[in-house]
Structure 1
Amino acid sequence: MLAFIAPFYNCSIRLPQLHDRTVLDSGSDTLVINSRLSESLGLKFDGKTIVGGAGEKTVEAGRATGVSFQLPGITVSGLTVTVLPLDDIEADAGRTVDGIIGYPLFSRYVVEIDFASHIVNLYEPKNYQYSGTGERIPITLEYNHPHAQAKISLSKGAAPIEAKLLIDTGAVSMAAILNTPFVESHQLLKIALKVLPVPVGQGMGGEVKLLIARAQAIQLGRFQFSPPVIGLFQDKKGFGASEDINGLIGNEILRRFKVIFDYSRQEMILEPNAQIADAYEYAMSGLRLRAEGKDFKTFKIYRIAKNSPAADAGLREGDIIEAIDDNAAGSLTLPQIYQMFKQENREYDLSIIRSKEKLQVKMKLWRLI
């Protein structure tokens, strides 16, 4: 059994001397280890590789073979591991990330992710029998990633568009994100949608270029999600520019279920939980923050969306948030701050530091999309 750390849904996989800070990511085709741990883990590199992902850049990474990881009663051996710095991902997540595990785990076990209780269970495929009432969704495995067919309705009265979407437990903030070629081929920017350029942070390939919009609905199996916040990639390179798939489904949908990945039977099973009817909201401040410092408690403004509450309040990139109302920044986590900034019409008193000067700023939130 693996315990999650919400809201990033991180499983406590224990590599030798590796702490419980590993991201469970169905969108990852390998085991990634943060390079700062390579020496303490005793990894010996036998080559290099080029790694990309969301964002337009690629990075050179080390490669080690013959690596094992262990769980209670389980050892997975003979793995090829990618080793690279995860500093930007840690700053975006607001916590330590020692590694990312995907296909090596999903391919060997039936992986049951209970988002409500933040628990993961692993089952041997040959002995697994599902007896619940969840919806069975066919999946295909391409490049070691799970994909499912979905229907997306962009505006009222418009015919739904069929899309092949990666099921991505590593994408946390939106219901779905559509790739640039799909956006262009269906001329989605010409549809009467309100779109907003937003600072969305870092992927494995660096900063991601993205617009957000509110669609009419997404249909996955018998489930319809309405009206979801979706992303429209603008990247010209990397994952977001891929023509092989149309986009991804993220945790803003998946968290509403117990999700069972069964690669051996090429299916995903969805059991609704108490979050199934939650509203679809996006952060209303227009801020993108980075968590810095040894304990990730220094919250620096990294990007500000134009015509947003943050811009209206006079906040600037580089400002450090020292307190929100009566809450010292050090008492909060980055996910908690983003959750606080999803409350429409809520006004906050922010204490900030700008070039060593302490300032007080009021910021009133409104729905951006």
Structure 2
Amino acid sequence: MKKSCYFLWILWLLSNLAFSQGKFYVQNDKETDKIKFQLVNNLVILPVEINGVTLSFLLDTGVSKPIVFNIFNISDSLKIKKTEKVFLRGLGEGEQIEAYKSEKNMFRVGDAINLNQDLYAIYNADLDFSSKLGFPVHGIIGFDLFKDLVVEINYAKQYLKLTNPSKYKYKVCRKCELLNLEFYNNKPFVAASIGKENAKIPVKLLIDTGGSDALWLFESDSLGIKSDKAFFNDFLGHGLSGSVYGKRSKLDRFTIGSFNLETTNVAYPDSLFIVYAKKHTSRNGSISGNILKRFNLVFDYKNAIVMLKKNKYFKEPFYYNKSGIELHHNGLRLVREQDDKIDLEKSSMLRNENASNSTRIILNPQYKLTLKPAYAVIELRENSAAYKAGLKINDIILTINGKPAHQFTLQQVMEKFYDDDGKQIKLRVDRKGIILNFNFKLESPLLN
């Protein structure tokens, strides 16, 4: 009897595995699973296992096939078989990125498994989002996960819930709203509107969980989509093909469904950097992490709908970087620290008892050298507070307001630059081996 039950269980497992080949399927009795993620700079970073190796992936509704990069030390373990060379194009000013397509890879996200997943592997060391976020990121995953499962993103509690579509049941939720999705090149678009003075302009926006900004709009005189008179030029972010620059401003109002957000951050990327994105002629821009995180979302690609519910972040004000500094993780540096574990009275020392003046030479001092993260200036906005104070690109931040920079994560350091107007910032930096001190006050860039 036991052998018979065991045999039936094997058949059930094999049938489910066979069914899941080429698609994601949640392999447990409840057919649903919850996965914790890290929210870093409004981006969802979650664990993804590829061919038995667990990596950190960015969840990006704006990407079709998974992309793997930053894998030089583990490429052999991943057992990625290169089948053909391809070229990928993303946002940014650079050229196409060389990649290799790989087939028949095993992907696991929690209990969701795909035994036959295609991916693109990039071996370009210059493409490194980890240094920009100060958090390890080895790849991007999007459409292939969303198309097979109902995906709930709970930004408030930082978990992802994956459910097989046949098992998902919508709960009665009076505070939730269902919106229709449209798809172009496997990317989800949603209708919204922007308010400028007394005008209400309808827009079609890409839902981009892979962007940390609030809202990007493509300027169009004919549609009335253009920046306010109060704006500033700025670095907007990194795409697959390089950096993106443009104008930043404020919107009087942004509306999605029945939800209204006031005084919203908005960016208008220069057309030079978004040529590829504008090939979808009816697209007016993107809605990204700084707005999306204000909702808990349920994506149901099979029925082409997304459900929104306000969460604890909804009423948070929108802030801009008031320093003008953008930092990245610039490797490690040796830092001399006091070692509290060492007792000076018990430490090794040499005594000269016969000398007229007793001398003690401490051979084991109460300090140690440790490797700590280094944060360097990668972008510096012209005429910003930091720019006028004398900061330069490649300066390494040693201390911020008297505290060692390495005591904070990159995100925590950057958050200090979003504080109130007039906040004093004191920086000690290493500029090519020369230690310099700078003081400046945060100031709103929209008042410049």
TM-score range, shorter chain: over 0.9
- Work out the CA distance in 2 between the residues paired with 1:72 and 1:80: 18
| Partner residue in 2 for 1:357 | 434
Q: CA deviation at 1:231?
A: 0.8
| Residue correspondence of structure 1 range 240-251 to structure 2 within 5 A | 240-244=277-281, 245-251=283-289
- Work out the CA distance in 1 between the residues paired with 2:60 and 2:230: 30
| Partner residue in 2 for 1:176 | 215
Overall identity of the aligned pairs, in % = 26
Question: Residue 236 of structure 2 contacts residue 267 of structure 2 at CA under 8 Å; is this kept in 1?
Answer: no
Q: CA deviation at 1:329?
A: 1.6
| Partner residue in 2 for 1:287 | 325
Q: CA deviation at 1:238?
A: 4.2
Match among 357, 373, 386 for residue 310 of structure 1: 386
Deviations 1:333-356 (A, max 9, x none): 121112111112211110101121
| Partner residue in 2 for 1:91 | 131
Q: CA deviation at 1:276?
A: 0.8
Secondary structure at 1:339's aligned position in 2? helix
Q: CA RMSD in A?
A: 1.9
| Partner residue in 1 for 2:48 | 13
Are positions 1:126 and 2:166 aligned together?
A: yes
Are positions 1:253 and 2:291 aligned together?
A: yes
Are positions 1:2 and 2:64 aligned together?
A: no
Secondary structure at 1:216's aligned position in 2? strand
Match among 134, 139, 152 for residue 181 of structure 2: 139
The one-letter code of the counterpart of 1:25 is D
| Partner residue in 1 for 2:80 | 43
| Residue correspondence of structure 1 range 200-349 to structure 2 within 5 A | 200-236=236-272, 237-244=274-281, 245-293=283-331, 297-344=373-420, 345-349=422-426
Q: How many residues align?
A: 363
Q: CA deviation at 1:240?
A: 4.4
The one-letter code of the counterpart of 2:252 is Q
Secondary structure at 1:199's aligned position in 2? strand
| Larger Rg computed on CA atoms | 2
- Work out the CA distance in 2 between the residues paired with 1:366 and 1:139: 39
Match among 45, 57, 64 for residue 29 of structure 1: 64
1:296–1:53 Cα change, 3 Å: farther
The one-letter code of the counterpart of 1:359 is L
Are positions 1:194 and 2:236 aligned together?
A: no
The one-letter code of the counterpart of 2:93 is E
- What TM-score do you get using the length of structure 2 for normalisation? 0.77
Deviations 1:308-345 (A, max 9, x none): 11112111111111111132121111211121111122
Question: Residue 398 of structure 2 contacts residue 430 of structure 2 at CA under 8 Å; is this kept in 1?
Answer: yes
Secondary structure at 1:208's aligned position in 2? strand
Secondary structure at 2:291's aligned position in 1? helix
Deviations 1:25-69 (A, max 9, x none): 111111111142432201110001111112133211111011120
The one-letter code of the counterpart of 1:205 is S
The one-letter code of the counterpart of 2:38 is I
Secondary structure at 2:314's aligned position in 1? coil
Secondary structure at 1:45's aligned position in 2? coil
**Structure 2, unaligned runs of 5 or more:** 1-33, 333-370
| Partner residue in 2 for 1:71 | 109
| Partner residue in 1 for 2:445 | 368
- What TM-score do you get using the length of structure 1 for normalisation? 0.93
Match among 149, 167, 180 for residue 109 of structure 1: 149
